[in-house]
């Protein structure tokens, strides 16, 4: 359970014809260290109704379970101040949808944006009030306690205790790794965006669906042709309906199509002064937590050491430049990227598909929890500790706990295995525990830190 405490409930109040939205913050990280209730922004929003709808969309995802919908979750959105923008993020309870509202500099008026990350309280009365904001209502936004609250922190405290499942935390890490492999695949005008999104089914269907750019819009296709984008569980885009009236464009991101396997995708609605993005896992019943994109980074001691170095160079930047970090750290760009993946497993960086760049944030969670609770990584370390790995050139042999022998082959750095996991997913969900153990054994053999069988003999 995660304890989240606020000095009061967030609320929307009216005063002298101005709506005042006070979003209360919980314990969070800032450049000055951990603060109980950091303050990130005080000023006006240039598009009040749009911002309210966008915040509600992020809150919708936070309380949703798109798989096994009878179960409900309630996770407060995360807010990050990056100096020039505010980012509101959430994950669905089922771990398959990641939502982010970026309120950009042009969407904020009259105040400086601070730096740091924390949770914000979005309660049911506030949701109802936000839904009634009109287009002409001036909206003053305060993220964090006001001066009076700062001086009376020993007053009433609103405390929530929410479940924080391991798969939800792992999902944050996997989503940024997967998103880093996306490219822009389609951009629709406002009219085409509304037409397409309103045509989507409200209930789930079977299997992966695909769409392909055609005539300024998107049309469905029965198979993943070049340029197609996977739309797994289209009903999971329903949160975008809240902002369609003020949408200026729809941008769709996805990986290059390779084979017929379903893939993740990101759907970004451009709005006046802000962006709302939903990233969908490859299947509605399949959360991001099991995708395995972070396993190589987690298994590498070098990536852990590099991450420590890179972490001190992060400065709550809204856009992290890999080449600049490479120059500042003295590390090659590929090691910087691996370090960023490692930092992403503890929520310290995210990835913005619109800008094709990482950004700095600090989730208030245990930095080692993702690694400790990753079953494939634990199993691979156990195999290595039990001397169950033998190396013979490009071939690795792993003797499993039940005595079965698995062959792992290295084809120009791409590992394949004879186990059932590999036969089922063909590497589409990261390495199996046997391939991961072989990769770790090779690294340690090169470093001379472990005893494995190499070319038929011990070394």
Strands 453-454 and 389-392: parallel
The pLDDT tens digits for 107-125 are: 999 789 999 999 999 998 9
In this prediction, residues 88-111 reach a mean pLDDT of 91
The rounded percent of the chain whose pLDDT value lies above 90 is 46
- Tens of pLDDT, residue by residue over 302-347, are 777 888 899 889 989 999 989 999 999 999 998 898 888 888 877 7
In the CATH scheme, what architecture does the domain 181-287 have? Roll (3.10)
Same topology, domains 2-163 and 181-287? Answer is yes
Which option is the CATH number for 2-163: 3.10.150, 1.10.20, 3.40.50, 3.30.1360? 3.10.150
Instruction: Give residue-wise pLDDT tens across range 245-304.
Output: 999 999 999 999 887 788 999 999 999 999 999 999 988 887 786 656 667 666 676 777
Written as six digits, the tokens of 259 are: 């084979």
Residues 4, 119: contact at Cβ < 8 Å? yes
Q: What are phi and psi of 435, to 5 degrees?
A: -65, -40
Give 377-428 pLDDT, tens digit per residue: 888 989 999 999 999 888 999 998 888 999 999 887 788 999 988 888 877 7
Contacts of 151 (CB under 8 A, 6+ apart): none
pLDDT at 152 over 60: no
Asked if residue 16 has pLDDT above 70, the reply is yes
Task: Answer whether 373's CB lies under 8 Å from 345's CB.
Answer: no
Q: What is the mean pLDDT of the chain?
A: 85
> What pLDDT, on the 0 to 100 scale, is given for residue 443?
82
- The closest alpha carbon to 345, from 383, 395, 392, 293, belongs to 293
- Pairing type for strands 86-91 and 78-82 reads antiparallel
Domain 295-370 CATH (choose: 3.10.129.10, 1.20.1290.10, 3.10.20.600, 1.10.10.10): 1.10.10.10
Residues whose CB is less than 8 angstroms from the CB of residue 274 and which lie 6 or more positions away in sequence, other chains included? 47, 50, 51, 54, 101, 102, 103, 104, 107
Q: What is the pTM of this model?
A: 0.84
Residue 118 neighbours by CB distance under 10 Å? 30
For the chain, the domains span: 2-163, 181-287, 295-370, 375-458
Alpha-carbon distance of 124 to 134, in angstroms, equals 19
């Amino acid at each position: 359970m995660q304890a989240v405490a606020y000095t009061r409930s967030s609320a929307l109040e009216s005063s002298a014809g101005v709506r005042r939205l006070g979003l209360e913050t919980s314990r969070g990280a800032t450049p000055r260290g951990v603060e109980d209730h950091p303050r990130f922004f005080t000023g006006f929003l240039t598009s009040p109704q749009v911002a309210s709808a966008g915040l509600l969309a992020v809150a919708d995802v936070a309380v949703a379970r798109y798989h096994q919908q009878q179960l409900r979750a309630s996770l407060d959105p995360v807010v990050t101040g990056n100096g020039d923008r505010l980012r509101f993020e959430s994950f669905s309870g089922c771990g398959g949808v990641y939502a982010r509202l970026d309120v950009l500099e042009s969407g904020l008026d009259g105040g400086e944006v601070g730096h740091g990350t924390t949770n914000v309280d979005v309660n049911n009365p506030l949701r109802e009030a936000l839904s009634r904001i009109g287009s002409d209502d001036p909206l003053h936004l305060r993220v964090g306690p006001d001066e009076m609250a700062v001086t009376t922190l020993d007053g009433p405290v609103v405390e929530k205790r929410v479940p924080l499942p391991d798969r939800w935390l792992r999902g944050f890490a996997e989503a940024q790794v997967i998103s880093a492999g996306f490219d822009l695949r389609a951009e629709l005008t406002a009219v085409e965006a509304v037409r397409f999104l309103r045509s989507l089914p409200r209930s789930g269907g079977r299997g992966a669906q695909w769409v392909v750019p055609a005539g300024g819009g998107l049309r469905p296709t029965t198979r993943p042709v070049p340029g197609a984008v996977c739309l797994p569980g289209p009903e999971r885009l329903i949160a975008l309906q809240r902002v369609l009236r003020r949408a200026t464009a729809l941008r769709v991101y996805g990986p290059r199509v390779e084979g017929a396997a379903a893939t993740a995708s990101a759907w970004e609605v451009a709005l006046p002064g802000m962006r709302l993005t939903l990233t969908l896992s490859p299947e509605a019943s399949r959360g991001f937590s099991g995708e395995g994109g972070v396993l190589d980074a987690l298994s590498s001691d070098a990536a852990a050491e590099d991450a420590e170095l890179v972490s001190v160079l992060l400065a709550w930047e809204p856009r992290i430049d890999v080449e600049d970090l490479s120059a500042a750290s003295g590390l090659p760009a590929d090691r910087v990227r691996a370090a960023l993946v490692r930092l992403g497993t503890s929520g310290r960086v995210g990835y913005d598909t619109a800008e094709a760049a990482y950004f700095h944030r600090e989730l208030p969670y245990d930095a080692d929890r993702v690694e400790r609770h990753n079953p494939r990584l634990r199993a691979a370390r156990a195999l290595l500790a039990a001397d169950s790995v033998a190396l013979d050139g490009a071939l690795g042999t792993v003797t499993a706990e039940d005595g079965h022998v698995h062959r792992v082959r290295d084809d120009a750095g791409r590992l394949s295995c004879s186990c059932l996991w590999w036969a089922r997913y063909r590497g589409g969900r990261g390495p199996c525990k046997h391939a991961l153990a072989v990769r770790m054994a090779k690294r340690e053999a090169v470093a001379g830190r472990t005893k494995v069988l190499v070319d038929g003999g011990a070394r």
